[in-house]
Amino acid sequence: MIDLRSDTVTKPSEAMRRAMAQAEVGDDVFGDDPTVNRLQERACEVFEKEAALWVPTGCMGNEIAVKVHTKPGHEIVTEDRGHILNYELGAAAVISGVTIRAVKSSNGSGHLTWDEIEPALKIDPPYFQAATGLICLENTHNFAGGSVMTAAACADVCERSHAVGLPVHMDGARIFNASVALNESVADLTRGCDSVMFTLSKGLGVPAGSILLGTKEFIQEARIWRKRLGGGMRQIGILAAAGLIALDEGPQRLAQDHANARALAEGLAEIKGISINVETVVTNIVIFDISGTGRTSAEIVSMLKDNGILAIGFGNLIRMVTHLDVSADQISETVNALKAAC
Ligand SMILES: *Cc1c(COP(=O)(O)O)cnc(C)c1O
């Protein structure tokens, strides 16, 4: 199978499995797991933040951040296609009691500028409006096709948000992909953000786990919410051991995933009926429009599946994600299968 549904399907390497088998462990709810503690410290160094907390999933990391930064009745701002708004099952409403103000990015990149955010804000609003409590950014932007936000663009939003008293959370599930594509450090890409979540379980190849970062105070509060949500786990040094390898060795191979995605996009652009802007494919996500083929995305996805290729279709779009378990040869195979299917 060539599984292009997501980079979450990646399997741990031999080195990771060995490290997991040998991991020193303890009860992390008591703060006693030495491997988890080492991973959290390493994440703080890499991101240049005060404190870090291992969380079971990226969704939990995002939702804890929303909870700690806001009060019930607040409104939070996300981009129109953002993960927190669209793919977390209304958790911000359920857990934090907040509503979400969706803002469209005018250039389609998925990354909001201050000029786009500011009109949506309600600072000291009249008593019939909900006050804004948080700005959420996403880098790379998943459903805008893995697009990247530069350090300068992020710093600008953070600076102006802070000037009006608003915190900024970065959904950095794939922040290392952005870092590799832009050649800017993850520390620079998240410098002004009050909290950052990144996943270990996507392109970095760990079976499970994400990290939430922020100030000591923020993480103290986050730890309480992690327990409340059922995310206080015990001997998770077994997972953190893979995380340590991922943090140090994972990012350097993401460039290969990006090259594969670009090659895939170039191949797709040649197929009649498929529409894709190759220039926008800068990381590992390829989203293309199939309306010109006269077939539905469900039909094409099903034909691909018959050829051992998995992808996700929604509406007129199909999404393919490259990762460490997909080779350059498999990309050519995929392009050929699509040509036949279309
Ligand atoms: C995958 C993803 C998440 C959630 O991570 P899970 O570990 O699957 O819960 C959050 N934000 C973005 C942008 C993602 O792509």
- Burial label, 134 (beta-carbon count in 10 A; 0-12, 13-18, 19+): buried
State residue 33's pLDDT score: 98
113-155 pLDDT, tens digit each = 999 999 999 999 888 899 999 999 999 999 999 999 999 999 9
Contact call for residues 172 and 140 (beta carbons, < 8 A): no
DSSP one-letter string for 287-316: EEE-GGGTS-HHHHHHHHHHTTEE-EEETT
* SS3 call for 159: helix
Q: Is the confidence at residue 182, as pLDDT, over 90?
A: yes
Structure tokens at 179: 């870092």
Q: Whose CA is nearest to atom 4 of ligand 1?
A: 58
57-115 pLDDT, tens digit each = 999 999 999 999 999 999 999 999 999 999 999 999 999 999 999 999 999 999 999 99
Average pLDDT score over the chain = 97
Could you tell me the domains of the chain? 2-6+253-341 (3.90.1150.10), 10-251 (3.40.640.10)
Query: Which candidate, 166, 154, 176, places its Cα nearest to that of 122?
Result: 166
Q: Is the confidence at residue 272, as pLDDT, over 90?
A: yes
How many angstroms is it from 249 CA to the middle of ligand 1? 21
Query: Which candidate, 55, 40, 7, places its Cα nearest to that of 229?
Result: 55
Pocket test for ligand 1, best of 81, 141, 142 (most atoms within 8 A of CB): 142
Separation of alpha carbons 255 and 249, rounded Å:
12
Q: Is the confidence at residue 242, as pLDDT, over 90?
A: yes
Pocket of ligand 1 (CB under 6 A): 57-59, 62, 83, 138, 142, 171, 173, 199, 201, 210
**What's the mean pLDDT in 202-224?**
98
State residue 341's pLDDT score: 86
State residue 86's pLDDT score: 97
How many angstroms is it from 291 CA to the middle of ligand 1? 28
Residue 252: how many CB atoms within 10 A of its CB? 10
How many angstroms is it from 79 CA to the middle of ligand 1? 15
Contact call for residues 234 and 29 (beta carbons, < 8 A): yes
Separation of alpha carbons 186 and 236, rounded Å:
25
Q: Return the residue matching tokens 């939003």.
A: 157
Q: Whose CA is nearest to atom 2 of ligand 1?
A: 173
How many angstroms is it from 273 CA to the middle of ligand 1? 31
State residue 342's pLDDT score: 86
Percent of the chain scored above 70 by pLDDT?
100
